[in-house]
Amino acid sequence: MKRFLLLIVLISFSSCVTIRVNTDYERGADFTKYKTYQYFGDMQTGLSELDTKRLLDALDAKMKAKGFSISENPDFLIDIKSSEYKEPQRSNVGIGIGGTGRNVGGGISIGVPVGQSNVNRQIIIDFVDEKGNGLFWQAVSEYQYSPNASPENKAEQFNAVAEKVLAQYPPKS
């Protein structure tokens, strides 16, 4: 029974996505005046069309929960950019050959990579006031993801990203 519980706990932790978020904002911005938003019309997210829709749906749901609404005459615009990158291999196994003798030695060592590189995605979300401050808030999120994940898992990841990013908006001055 204890092993079964341990297995459940390990599976739960391994299925969680670790999302790192850093935010920055304009100190003089009055965040109370921003109630409505819209996305940039020419936004190039760097995501597939389906992933862009998943991310926008997740952001819209979280923004609505925070009291914001989409408008044709918005207080601010949202721009989204993303990129993917592979982490360098960290796990290596060293194989060595050496010889010794009377004051004679030599050796060869080869590092053999173990496992695969992690694929990470970085998403940058900018809040821009075109009528005043320009860029007034920015969030940069990074997380490990699987390009071959199911549509349900991708939607879950984007919901988690939106939740974690918007938990830091508006900033607590």
SS3 of the chain: CHHHHHHHHHHHHHHCCCEEEEEEECCCCCHHHCCEEEECCCCCCCCCHHHHHHHHHHHHHHHHHCCCEECCCCCEEEEEEEEEEECCCCCEEEEEEEEEECCEEEEEEEEEECCCCCEEEEEEEEEEECCCCEEEEEEEEEEECCCCCCHHHHHHHHHHHHHHHHCCCCCCC
Query: Parallel, antiparallel, or unpaired: how do β-strands 92-101 and 69-70 relate?
Result: unpaired
Note the pLDDT of residue 11: 45
Chain mean pLDDT for the chain: 83
- Sorted by sequence, the CB contacts under 8 Å of residue 113 that are 6+ apart come out as 89, 91, 92
Q: Where do the domains of the chain lie, and which CATH numbers do they carry?
A: 19-86+112-166 (3.30.160.670)
pLDDT digits (tens, 9 = 90+) for 61-106: 999 999 999 999 999 999 999 998 876 655 555 555 555 566 555 5
**pLDDT, mean of residues 112-131:** 82
pLDDT band at 130 (very low <50, low <70, confident <90, very high): confident
Q: What is the pTM of this model?
A: 0.74
d(CA 122, CA 107): 42
Note the pLDDT of residue 74: 96
Sheet containing 36-39: order of strands = 19-25, 134-144, 119-129, 76-86, 36-39, 69-70
